[in-house]
Structure 1
Amino acid sequence: MSSNIYVEAQMLIRKPIEDVFEAFINPEITTQFWFTKSTGKLVESETVIWEWEMYGVKSAVKVNQIILNHLIKTEWGEPSTNVDYEFKEMEKGTLVIIKSYGFSQTGENLLKVINDNTGGFTTVLDGCKAYLEHGINLNLIEDKFPQK
């Protein structure tokens, strides 16, 4: 296992930390910039299913830890990896840092996963910023891999 390798994406979102944190645990908000359906709000020690209907993809997301307005630790994907969402209060808003780690892939497969994670989580943060700061759903996830 490549436990010392991780992917990190970050973005300053010019909103209070409470609003930004809520956007990641509450699917009524998250579906405006990331997945299209969820079986519920993120709750520590529970598992929810996230769905991207336009791609016919679902993922079970196990919530390992929540520290209100600071940290969400999850495990999800195939094969499963750890994804942490950190929230830091800044003078101009909230810095969100997404870290993905615990990859089991090696070689070219590991490089592909690192590339996909970096691009994917950057897109999520871009969409979140546009939605929370300007109320705009840019359809970034849907348009990343457009259907013919």
Structure 2
Amino acid sequence: MSSTVYVEAQMLIRRPVEEVFEAFINPEITTNFWFTKSTGRLEEGKTVTWEWEMYGVKSDVKVEEIISDQLIRTIWGDPVTNVDYEFKQMEKGTLVVITSYGFIQTGEDLAKIINDNTGGFTTVLDGCKAYLEHRIRLNLIEDKFPQK
């Protein structure tokens, strides 16, 4: 039974919605601030594999729905959860809201996954903002858990 817990991270990125949306579906852009490899662009009905080479981690991402410049709805992770990416054009840029839900964990395990999701997606949004607004690769994902 999945829980009704929703985890949300959001950030205003001072770029047009089309550019921000493209950054999340096009791995040539996304690899500048999130994962290091992908088997392809996000397309509705398609499953792609994202890889974080520095950690030896991969995840299959199933794309449930895409509404151009508005929404990307995915299922991914281990165990799998729903992750939605919403894009809203604002006066000063694009508001990106990442929501994850459908957790099967309970108790302390649920608290840990909530913390991991909140921190992880906030880091992704921070890196995206720096890259799209200033073309700076902050290496936030790589540096979050540095290897010795």
Could you state the TM-score of these two structures normalised by the residue count of structure 1?
Answer: 0.99
Secondary structure at the counterpart of residue 43 of structure 2: coil
- How do 1:41-80 residues align onto structure 2 when only pairs under 5 Å count? 41-80=41-80
Deviations 1:110-148 (Å, cap 9, x if unpaired)? 000000000000000000000000000000000000000
Inter-partner Cα distance in structure 2 for 1:123 and 1:18: 21
Number of equivalent positions: 148
Secondary structure, counterpart of 1:84 in structure 2: strand
1:54-133 correspondence runs (5 A): 54-133=54-133
Q: Which residue of 2 aligns with 1:38?
A: 38
> What SS does the corresponding residue of 2:4 show, helix, strand or coil?
strand
**CA distance, structure 2, for counterparts of residue 62 and residue 48 of structure 1:** 7
Distance 1:2 1:89 in 2: 32
Deviation at 1:2, TM superposition (A): 4.0
Task: Give the counterpart letter for 1:123 in structure 2.
Answer: T
For structure 2, list consecutive stretches of 5 or more residues without a partner in the other structure: none
Q: Distance in 1 between matches of 2:2 and 2:131?
A: 34
Matched with 1:4 is 4
What is the match of residue 147 of structure 1? 147
Contact 1:9 1:121 in 2 (8 A): yes
Give the TM-score normalised by the residue count of structure 2.
0.99
Q: Which secondary structure state, in structure 1, belongs to the residue aligned with residue 118 of structure 2? A: helix
Cα separation, 1, equivalents of 2:3 and 2:112: 16
Q: Is the 8 A contact 1:62 1:74 kept in 2?
A: yes
1:2, 1:106 within 8 Å by CA — same for their partners in 2? no
Q: In structure 1, what residue type is equivalent to 2:56?
A: G
